[in-house]
């Protein structure tokens, strides 16, 4: 699946809502919950976490053969370094240490994860673990994970740069980021995450910047690490070559004027009170035209600025490609007695 970051539009997809095993893509939500705790000032990046036995690989057979930061009980590690271990090393032990610190335990942290599932309207997703190892009832979809990735990129500027970090050294052990597209000089990939378990296959979410544009590719259930990278790269190249993300309406931009009755002016400017963008095939960009309709036949003063009075529709030929609110760009006061009487004679009689 390929999503445009700015607009959230899906540019191409196959079974994007199919529920699948997310594997370590689960850690995107783990990181998101940690960052929300930081934003709410419950914790800070500089807080020191004492690692418990439940985060120790030797004491947890479920961690056998899985990705680790290689923490030991009693280690004192900052939240920042644990976040790096989660993101770069995909450390299951780092996930447990963070869950214990933020929520007091893994079950409580998983409950927080599922609360944010609801807040982000991830309808195909439910989490059972903090790390993504196979668990009954745990599932997500390519679409939901793209939405989550978009939220991370937008809402975590202090953390997102970690997703582009190619290696991490901890306790004398250097590990490489498993996202091989970070080394692809043709794509400018700067995140996000890989995942793999025997039940999930090979998963990858990759985000790439092309000028002012950003695309998010999601591949789930590939047969190999190379296969997931090839599929994601193909999606990103295709999106960069065939689509542009363009500003179709600008805040305060006039799209038309209309007669207003009983005011101290006869015309009122109309437009939008927000910036709106669309991801469009490059061949269609120059063909986009705007038309609007009013909610009511006549506009009457007094009327405030930024009041909705209709709808703007964007067309590519006969095809509608977007609907947006039409608002007043200025306020119009009630006119004087004589001008209102004149308007009444022209308007009502």
Q: Are 30 and 98 in contact (CB under 8 A)?
A: yes
**Contact status, residue 76 vs residue 48, Cβ threshold 8 Å:** yes
Taking only the tens place, the pLDDT of each residue in 236-284 is 999 999 999 999 999 999 999 999 988 889 899 999 999 999 999 999 9
- pLDDT recorded at residue 334: 86
Across 199-207, average pLDDT:
97
Helices 27-39 and 92-103, interaxial angle, to 10°? 30
Cα separation of the two ends of the chain: 60
CA distances from 123 to 99, 195, 263, 314 (A): 23, 21, 49, 29
Q: Residue 347's pLDDT is what? A: 63
Q: Is 193 annotated as contributing to ligand binding?
A: yes
Q: Which domains does the chain have, with CATH numbers?
A: 2-243 (3.40.710.10), 250-348 (2.60.410.10)
Distances in Å between the Cα of 345 and the Cα atoms of 122, 328, 340, 341 are 56, 25, 9, 6
Q: What is the pTM of this model?
A: 0.91
Q: What is the pLDDT of residues 93-131, one digit of tens each?
A: 999 999 999 999 999 999 999 999 999 999 999 999 999
- For 275-305, write each residue's pLDDT tens digit: 999 999 999 999 999 999 999 989 989 999 9
Collapse the DSSP code of 123 into the 3-class scheme (helix H, G, I; strand E, B; otherwise coil) and give the result: coil
Residues catalogued as catalytic: 24, 27, 90
């Amino acid at each position: 699946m390929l999503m445009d970051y700015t607009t959230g539009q899906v540019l191409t997809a196959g079974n994007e809502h199919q529920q699948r095993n997310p594997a370590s893509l689960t850690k995107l939500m783990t990181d998101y919950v940690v960052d929300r705790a930081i934003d709410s000032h419950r914790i800070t990046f500089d807080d020191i976490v004492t690692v418990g036995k439940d985060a120790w690989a030797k004491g947890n057979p479920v961690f056998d053969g899985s990705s680790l930061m290689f923490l030991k009980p009693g280690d004192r590690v900052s939240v920042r370094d644990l976040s790096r271990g989660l993101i770069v090393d995909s450390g299951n032990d780092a996930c447990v240490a963070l869950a214990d610190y933020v929520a007091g335990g893994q079950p409580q942290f998983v409950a927080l994860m599922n609360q944010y599932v609801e807040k982000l309207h991830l309808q195909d997703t439910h989490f059972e673990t903090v790390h993504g190892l196979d668990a009954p009832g745990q599932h997500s979809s390519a679409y939901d994970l793209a939405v989550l990735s978009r939220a991370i990129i937008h809402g975590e500027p202090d953390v997102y740069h970690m997703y582009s970090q190619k290696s991490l050294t901890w306790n004398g052990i250097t590990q490489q980021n498993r996202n091989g597209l970070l080394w692809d000089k043709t794509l400018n990939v700067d995140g996000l995450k890989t995942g793999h378990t025997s039940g999930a296959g090979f998963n990858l979410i990759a985000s790439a910047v092309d000028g002012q544009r950003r695309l998010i590719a999601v591949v789930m259930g590939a047969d190999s690490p190379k296969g997931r990278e090839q599929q994601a790269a193909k999606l990103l190249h295709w999106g960069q070559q065939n689509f542009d993300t363009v500003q179709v309406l600008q805040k305060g931009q006039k799209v038309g004027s209309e007669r207003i009755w009983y005011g101290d002016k006869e015309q009122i400017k109309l437009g939008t009170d927000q910036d709106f963008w669309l991801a469009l095939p490059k061949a269609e960009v120059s063909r986009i035209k705007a038309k609007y309709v009013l909610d009511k036949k006549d506009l009457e003063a007094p009327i405030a600025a930024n009041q909705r009075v209709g709808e703007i529709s964007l067309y590519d030929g006969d095809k509608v490609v977007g609907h947006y609110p039409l608002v007043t760009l200025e306020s119009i006061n009630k006119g004087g007695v004589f001008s209102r009487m004149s308007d009444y004679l022209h308007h009502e009689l």
